[in-house]
Structure 1
Amino acid sequence: MAWSQKLPSGRYRGAYRLPSGEVRYTRGGTFTSKRAAKDAATELEVKVKRPGWRDPRASEITWGDWLEMWSPGRQIEPSTVENEAGMIEQHLLPQWRDAPLAGITRHDVQTWATRMVKENLGTEEEPRYRKSSSVRRYLNVFVSSMTAAIDAELIDTNPATRIKLPPDAAGDPVFLTREQYAALSAAVPNSQDRALLDFLVGTGLRWGEAAGLHLHRLDLTRGVVTVADVTDGREIKPYPKGRRQRHVPLLQWSVDYLEVPAARDCGVQHRAGRCPSGLVFPAARGGIRDDRNFYRRVMQPALKAAGLDHMGATLHDLRHTYASWLAQDGVPLGRIAELLGHRSITTTEIYAHFATATAADIAFAMRDPREANVKQKPAVSGIIPLRRATQE
């Protein structure tokens, strides 16, 4: 209910509350009577309680102001906060800091995004441009901020959606043949480095999943590794990408060089709970292995020694190689998706071209239907039980 307040001058002003509970006062002068001030405040109070009413002062809030209000309440990973901080400081604030939220249009955002892609970061002789995928990452942060502004009832629509960017040139994954990988592995002199490479290509684990793998997740008796812990290089999170644990069969050759370290606390900070065991692949001095260091020190020289450096294979390409071998030998895409931890089989379809039908497959599928007793094709699991593992 509206009310009036007497001012030191002897005149009155009206007061009322917004739906949020915030107190507002009548504008445009004061009143000589208490009744007139209250009536004016009552009229304003009725307006703010109507459906669809928006605070006129909301249009004055800039994106920079909103960033300060929005950021503290976000529920995102600490690593994401760190990654986004640079994007915000370098790319978003210079453009949008002083822009009123209500005045930002889709045209403004499209113009900004297009300019970011076309900006030459190099020289005239050697031009260099941002990838559209990089600009899309900056744009995603901006989209999230504007979606939150809608939820806060500061704007009606999100001007950062449906922004078009040119596609990046496709960076094709590298699929090694078994012979190529054998040459690569043989070129690694250190057995523990070779053990990690064999494990990556033999299980399809991502680097963070292998680097964060704990001993209690490795069941050498049953020949299964449980993918649950993952590291971003700073801490151990209790879930992999997609937030779902998965179980991957271990084949003998993928652990032949593995020397299981003594069970102890891993020495790395855990996001939740206490550490129950040590890391399967710790760094030489303990702690988490660094993928860039491992690639530069181990994989890059091995690729060169094996005559494969022209292929440009990365550590993540060992995961692609794992999936391609499965597809080549007839493992269904749905099962491959499960082993890789893909939430959608659409992601796994890049390996579909490896699963080409052979003449034998076609002959069996198109067998003479007039034959009464047609034998069924035996199922093949493709999984060989683990015989042993080297342990200390």
Structure 2
Amino acid sequence: MMWTPYIKGFKAFLQLEKSLSRNSIAAYLRDVAMLQEFYEKTYPTLSFPDMTLPQLQEFLASIHEKDLAAASQARILSGIKAFFRYLMLEEAITADPTELLEAPKLQRKLPDVLSVEEVEQLFTGIDHSKPEGQRNRAILETMYSSGLRVSEVIALAISNLYLDVGFIRVIGKGNKERLVPIGDEAARHIRLYREHVRNKMTPAKGQDDILFLNRRGSGLSRVMVFYMIKEAALQAGIRKNIHPHTLRHSFATHLIEGGADLRAIQEMLGHESITTTEIYTHMDRAFLRQTLVTHHPRFRK
């Protein structure tokens, strides 16, 4: 079976046609490499058109035996299905045997969120006596104010700030752009950071337009933001498992709690499907029940 040309073509397809990020493309290629390894060991002489559903079910069973989490198995299956859709486009196969492949049942876990009070508490955990303190405060304010992913906030460009009208332009997944409102407090802290810290730095080559820089003048990594938020939570005495996405989840949840329109939240978060955004309605129901338990006399024990 001639895997190499089709894998190269699949990579180009993901880059050019789908405009996926480097990390997403790498994940898809790892999935296909697992399938290739399985077929080269089990059915070494088979060609693409002869692949069958039972064989692919065998592959899934082999993945399951590796004790991977259900979510990991589902993600691998998603990558394999994408590869077979590409083979259909290239007319390497006439029928897609993955159409009837079923992913393992996933329990939809509600993400951890902070209360409004805990968000304010988190901000107090930042050491403003250090130059990076003002930067870190601006990052956290921006993530909570606009619901940004960590990849979006570290890539935020100065040329995409429209603070005078209360908007920022964000480059999201698949290089898709969206205009997102930004609150007055976040805008204020960005201005303070630019005036007192950013303007005194010499950006590294190619980093002139990146808003948030490290001490060497380069853009931040996801890991740096992760540790910065962990440290702020520790200093603030917050015991929840905090990570960068927590602020994004909190942003959406607090909007739902306040009665915001689900479509508007979908647009601000950059979700392709409204189904992804709907998870926050489940969180809102839990919030409503807790409100009754706390405040309604007939719910109190």
Q: Could you tell me the TM-score, scaled by structure 2's length?
A: 0.77
Look up the equivalent residue of 1:248 and give its one-letter code: V
What is the Cα deviation at residue 114 of structure 1?
2.3
For residues 1-392 of structure 1, the aligned pairs below 5 Å read 62=1, 65-72=2-9, 74-77=12-15, 79=22, 80-89=24-33, 91-97=34-40, 98=44, 99-119=46-66, 129-189=67-127, 190-227=133-170, 229=171, 240-241=172-173, 244-258=176-190, 259-260=193-194, 261-262=198-199, 267-268=205-206, 278-296=209-227, 298-309=228-239, 311-353=240-282, 354=284
Contact 2:213 2:220 in 1 (8 A): yes
Q: 1:107 deviation in Å?
A: 0.9
More helix by share: 2
- Pick closer, same or farther for the CA change 1:147–1:252 going to 2, 3 Å: closer
Change (3 A) 1:347 1:218: same
TM-superposed CA distance for 1:219, in Å, is 1.7
Partners of 1:110 and 1:226 in 2: CA distance = 44
Residue 296 of structure 2: aligned partner: none
Contact 1:242 1:343 in 2 (8 A): no
SS for the counterpart of 2:64 is helix
Secondary structure of the residue aligned to 1:115 is helix
- Partner residue, 1:48: none
Kindly state the Cα deviation for residue 212 of structure 1 after the two structures are TM-superposed.
Answer: 0.9
> What is the letter of the counterpart of residue 248 of structure 2?
R
Which letter maps to 2:61? T
Q: Does the C-alpha gap of structure 1 residues 76 and 156 become closer, same or farther in structure 2, counting only changes over 3 Å?
A: closer
Separation (CA, whole Å) in 1 of partners of 2:242 and 2:226: 10
Computed over aligned residues only, the root mean square deviation of the Cα atoms, in angstroms, reads 2.9
| Deviation, structure 1 residue 152 | 4.2
**Contact persistence 1:70–1:148 (CA under 8 A):** no
Provide closer, same or farther for how the CA distance between residues 198 and 265 of structure 1 changes in structure 2, counting only shifts above 3 A: same
Tell which structure's C-alpha radius of gyration is larger: 1
Name the SS for the 1:75 alignment partner: helix
- Measured after TM superposition, the shift of residue 157 of structure 1 is 1.5
TM-score with structure 1 setting the length: 0.60
Letter paired with 2:27: N
Per the alignment, do residues 264 and 293 of structure 1 end up closer, same or farther by CA in structure 2, a change over 3 Å counting? closer
Which of structures 1 and 2 has the larger relative contact order (alpha carbons within 8 angstroms, sep 6+)? 2
Matched letter for residue 168 of structure 2 = V
Q: Residue 179 of structure 2 aligns to a residue in which SS?
A: strand
Distance 1:150 1:348 in 2: 31
How many residue pairs end up in the alignment? 266
The residue type equivalent to 1:112 in the other structure is F
Distance 1:350 1:116, change over 3 A: same
Structure 1: where are the runs of 5+ without partners?
Answer: 1-61, 120-128, 230-239, 269-274, 360-392
- What is the identity, as a one-letter code, of the residue corresponding to 1:96? Y
Residues 202 and 217, structure 2, Cα contact 8 Å, conserved in 1:
no
Q: Distance in 1 between matches of 2:258 and 2:82?
A: 43
Say whether the 8 Å CA contact 1:266–1:278 is kept in structure 2.
no
Conserved? CA contact 1:67–1:145, under 8 Å: no
Q: Is the 8 A contact 1:242 1:341 kept in 2?
A: no
Report % sequence identity.
23
Which one-letter code corresponds to 1:299 in the other structure? I
**How big is the shift at 1:213?**
1.0
